[in-house]
């Protein structure tokens, strides 16, 4: 692969039109400059100093300037041309500087013929020039130090800045080219481009030229192109723009004690994430980060209510998940439990009164309220990767239980409550569960969440055949996700539309997919009847 330095050298030396570089002081600035299609980044000494809140006068060390240049270089794929002031000392410092910058992947350096420590060219007063001989020696040291000709060394002539006139500027430029510089940056602080025009005319394209039109912005790109300029540097305009924007929002926030008025003129946090590569990092994590288990939670909450009694009235305008339970909706409580268990990717499938379903921090998908629960789960097909937790929208489970449940690594697991109450059985058709190898009733166990293997799940099972009740949570590990998908693909479209979750779990068993049962004696509740609802409210009233 061609290095940035090699391709920049080629473009700079043969430029038919001037390349345009923009000044920056950090990786973020460099990223924005690249996004806008500029040819390169100018690692500006003025900007880097200003961003440290110190004068542009070699207050910082070479290492500090280099670190920033490297950061800008790493931020993207366009070349970085570094402002290295006077080379940070004499010819020995220059030798060291060139090695460091070249090794860091910087494409070129621009070194100025002032005395160390320099002062920014626009600051009135001391602008001391090195002798031609001394600076030529530094250029020769720079040339000898570079490992490859691709690394460009551009000499910056400060004679016009120091008020030494056109003749001196031309003399210096010629001497520097003869000492091996690859190009000349001729700098001016004049408000009009006249002295630059005069220089360009006399110079007559003898060697590549770089301009920094900070004080003479009226000089057009066309004129610079026709005068044979190879590169233009807009050295500090992006920093100046950001200072103005920051003043603007800071004063509004101070005055209003609020950010409302400025929200629509500032970048979104999402935009920051994009610029800093957060999405790429997440993709990487998915691929390489094996320590953290990713569990996608899916909450089916689309079904039409088939409740009785007072619940009919309560669910007239909202699904069960949006019932208010002591100041928070059931959904909010479910999401809090999931968040506390470390789950962030949560998808709610809303159908019946779906526009009522709103919850911070979750993705709500509108699905049809017709068809079975599996049919709506299918709408979260894209979430069937890594591990998946299906969580009914009408149950609430403590985060301690969820945490222990999702720590399982069995292909398919269901959460079961071993407490079966006859009264409840009579009033509602429970999802009853029986185990393949039930423990004798008297057996003690040291396990907090005893496990078994599912034999049957069915609403019509006689109560004395059952070992527990399905709580409404199913966990699939990556292997279980695949087995689930495979079994699902084998169903006819009518089955897909109508099959209940119980039947599908039984179908998995028939396909030789074992299902683990995971017991939770306490720490869960469902909201089916108005009694359930009132009981849960009073429970939470006591504990919260």
User: What distances in angstroms separate CA 350 from CA 96, 311, 362, one per listed residue?
Assistant: 65, 19, 12
Q: Is 46 in the site for ligand SPV (CB under 6 A)?
A: yes
The site partner of 214 among Mg ion, ligand SPV, none (C-beta below 5 to 8 Å per kind) is ligand SPV
Closest approach of Cβ 56 to Mg ion, in Å? 6
Q: How far apart are CA 445 and CA 436, in angstroms?
A: 17
Point out which span in 81-89, 180-188, 205-213, 451-459 binds Mg ion (CB under 5 A).
Answer: 81-89
- 184, 210 Cβ separation under 8 angstroms: yes
Minimum CB separation from ligand SPV for residue 39, in Å?
16
Of residues 7 and 120, the one with the C-beta less far from ligand SPV: 120
Residue from 39, 47, 71, 83 touching Mg ion (CB under 5 A): that is 83
The residue written with tokens 């068993």 in the block is 509
Q: Could you tell me the CA-to-CA distances from 307 to 256, 380, 447, 454, 529 in Å, in that order? A: 50, 26, 36, 28, 7
Which partner from the list ligand SPV, Mg ion, none does 23 bind, CB cut-off 5 to 8 Å by kind? ligand SPV
Indicate the burial class of 505 (C-beta count within 10 angstroms; 0-12, 13-18, 19 or more).
buried
- CB within 8 A of 222, min separation 6: which ones? none
Rounded Cα distance between 475 and 480, Å, is 8
Q: Positive or negative, the Cα torsion across 346, 350, 353, 355?
A: positive
**Is position 56 annotated as part of the catalytic site?**
yes
Please choose which of Mg ion, ligand SPV, none residue 395 contacts, taking the beta carbon within 5 to 8 angstroms, the exact cut-off set by kind.
none
Q: Which value, to the nearest 10 degrees, does the dihedral of the CA atoms of residues 303, 308, 312, 315 take?
A: -40
**What are the residues whose beta carbons fall under 8 Å from the beta carbon of 126, sequence distance 6 or more?**
119
225 sits in which H/E element: helix 221-226
* Nearer of residues 231 and 315 to Mg ion, judged by Cβ: 231
Phi, psi of 203 (to 5 degrees): -65, -40
Please select the residue that binds ligand SPV; options are 120, 294, 366, 404, rule is CB under 6 A.
120
Say which entry of Mg ion, ligand SPV, none residue 121 contacts (CB below 5 to 8 A, set by partner kind).
Answer: ligand SPV
What six digits make up the tokens of 170? 């031309």
With binding defined as CB under 6 A, does residue 121 bind ligand SPV? yes
The residue sitting closest to Mg ion, measured at its beta carbon, is: 45
Residue with Cβ nearer ligand SPV (120 or 294): 120
Indicate which of ligand SPV, Mg ion, none lies near residue 213 (CB less than 5 to 8 Å, by partner kind).
none
Q: Which of 58, 70, 227, 236 binds ligand SPV (CB under 6 A)?
A: 236
Query: Residue 9 contacts by C-beta under 8 Å, 6 or more apart in sequence?
Result: 107, 108, 149, 150, 152, 182
Minimum CB separation of residue 135 from Mg ion in Å reads 16
User: Kindly report the CA angle at 292 between 290 and 296, in degrees rounded to 5?
Assistant: 110
Largest CA distance in the chain: 108
DSSP H stretches of helix in 315-398: 330-340, 373-377
Report, in Å, the least distance between residue 299 CB and ligand SPV: 55
- What binding mask, one character per residue, do residues 185-214 give for ligand SPV by CB under 6 A, x or -? ---------------------------x-x
**Position among 83, 182, 519, 526 found at the interface with ligand SPV (CB under 6 A):** 83
Rounded to a whole number of angstroms, the distance between the first and last alpha carbons of the chain is: 62
Binding map of Mg ion across residues 28-47, x = CB under 5 A, - = no contact = -----------------xx-
CB of 196 to ligand SPV, least distance (A): 13
From candidates 45, 305, 472, 480, binder to ligand SPV by CB under 6 A: 45
Q: Which of residues 259-318 bind ligand SPV (CB under 6 A)?
A: none
Kindly state the number of chain residues that form the binding site for ligand SPV, as judged by CB under 6 A.
Answer: 12
Query: Minimum Å distance from CB 56 to ligand SPV?
Result: 6
Exposed, middle or buried by CB within 10 Å (0-12, 13-18, 19+), for 508? buried
Q: Any residues with CB less than 8 A from the CB of 31 and at least 6 apart, and which?
A: 75, 76, 275
Give least dist CB 46 to ligand SPV, A: 3
5-13, 43-51, 331-339, 436-444 -> range binding ligand SPV (CB under 6 A):
43-51
Residue (47 or 469) nearer to ligand SPV, CB: 47
Judged by CB under 6 A, does residue 219 bind ligand SPV?
no
**Measured from the CB of residue 117, what is the shortest distance to Mg ion in angstroms?**
12
Of 236 and 376, which CB lies nearer to ligand SPV in the complex structure? 236
**Looking at 26, 39, 56, 409, which residue is catalytic?**
56
Separation of alpha carbons 532 and 514, rounded Å: 32
- Of the ranges 79-87, 167-175, 199-207, 453-461, which one interacts with Mg ion (CB under 5 A)? 79-87
Give the residue numbers marked as catalytic.
56
Q: Contact residues for ligand SPV (CB under 6 A)?
A: 23, 44-46, 56, 83, 120-121, 212, 214, 235-236
Q: Contact residues for Mg ion (CB under 5 A)?
A: 45-46, 83
């Amino acid at each position: 692969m061609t290095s940035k330095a090699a391709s920049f050298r080629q473009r700079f030396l043969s430029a038919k039109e001037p390349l345009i570089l923009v000044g920056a002081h950090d990786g973020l600035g460099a990223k924005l400059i690249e996004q806008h299609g500029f040819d390169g980044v100018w690692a500006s000494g003025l900007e880097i100093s200003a961003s440290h809140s110190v004068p542009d006068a070699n207050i910082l060390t070479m290492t500090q300037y280099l670190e920033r240049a490297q950061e800008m270089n790493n931020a993207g794929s366009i070349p970085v041309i570094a402002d290295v002031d006077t080379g940070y000392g004499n010819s020995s410092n220059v030798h060291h500087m060139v090695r460091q910058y070249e090794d860091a992947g910087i494409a070129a350096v621009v070194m100025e013929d002032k005395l160390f420590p320099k002062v920014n060219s626009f600051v009135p007063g001391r602008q001391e020039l090195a002798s031609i001989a001394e600076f030529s020696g530094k250029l020769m040291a720079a040339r000898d130090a570079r490992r490859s000709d691709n690394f460009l060394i551009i000499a910056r002539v400060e004679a016009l800045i120091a008020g030494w006139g056109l003749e001196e500027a031309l003399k210096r430029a010629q001497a520097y080219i003869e000492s091996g510089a690859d190009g000349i940056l001729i700098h001016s602080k004049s408000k009009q481009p006249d002295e630059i025009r005069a220089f360009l005319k006399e110079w007559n394209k003898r060697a590549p030229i770089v301009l920094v039109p900070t004080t003479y912005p009226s000089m057009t790109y066309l004129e610079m192109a026709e005068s044979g300029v190879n590169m233009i540097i807009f050295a500090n305009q992006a920093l100046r723009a950001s200072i103005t924007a920051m003043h603007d929002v800071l004063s509004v926030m101070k005055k209003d004690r609020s950010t409302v008025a400025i929200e629509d003129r500032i970048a979104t946090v999402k935009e920051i994430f994009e610029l800093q590569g957060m999405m790429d990092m997440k993709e990487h994590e998915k691929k390489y980060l094996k320590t953290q288990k990713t569990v996608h939670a899916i909450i089916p909450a689309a079904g039409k209510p088939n409740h009785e009694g007072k619940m009919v009235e309560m669910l007239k305008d909202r699904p069960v998940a949006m019932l208010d339970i002591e100041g928070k909706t059931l959904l909010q409580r479910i999401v809090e439990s999931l968040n506390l268990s470390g789950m962030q990717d949560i998808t709610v499938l809303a159908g019946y009164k779906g526009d009522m379903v709103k919850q911070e921090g979750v993705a709500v998908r509108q699905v049809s309220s017709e068809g079975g629960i599996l049919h709506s789960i299918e709408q979260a097909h894209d979430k069937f990767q890594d591990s998946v937790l299906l969580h009914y929208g009408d149950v609430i489970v403590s985060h301690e239980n969820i945490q222990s449940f999702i720590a399982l690594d069995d292909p398919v697991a269901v959460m079961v409550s071993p407490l079966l109450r006859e009264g409840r059985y009579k009033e509602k058709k429970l999802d009853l569960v029986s185990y393949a190898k039930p423990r004798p009733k008297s057996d003690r166990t040291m396990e907090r969440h005893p496990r078994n293997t599912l034999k049957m799940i069915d609403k019509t099972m006689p109560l004395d055949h059952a070992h527990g009740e399905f709580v409404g949570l199913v966990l699939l590990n990556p292997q279980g996700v695949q087995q689930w998908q495979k079994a699902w693909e084998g169903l006819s479209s009518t089955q897909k539309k109508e099959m209940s979750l119980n039947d599908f779990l039984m179908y998995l068993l028939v396909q030789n997919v074992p299902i683990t049962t995971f017991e939770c004696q306490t720490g869960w509740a469902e909201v089916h009847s108005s009694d359930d609802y009132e009981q849960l409210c009073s429970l939470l009233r006591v504990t919260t």
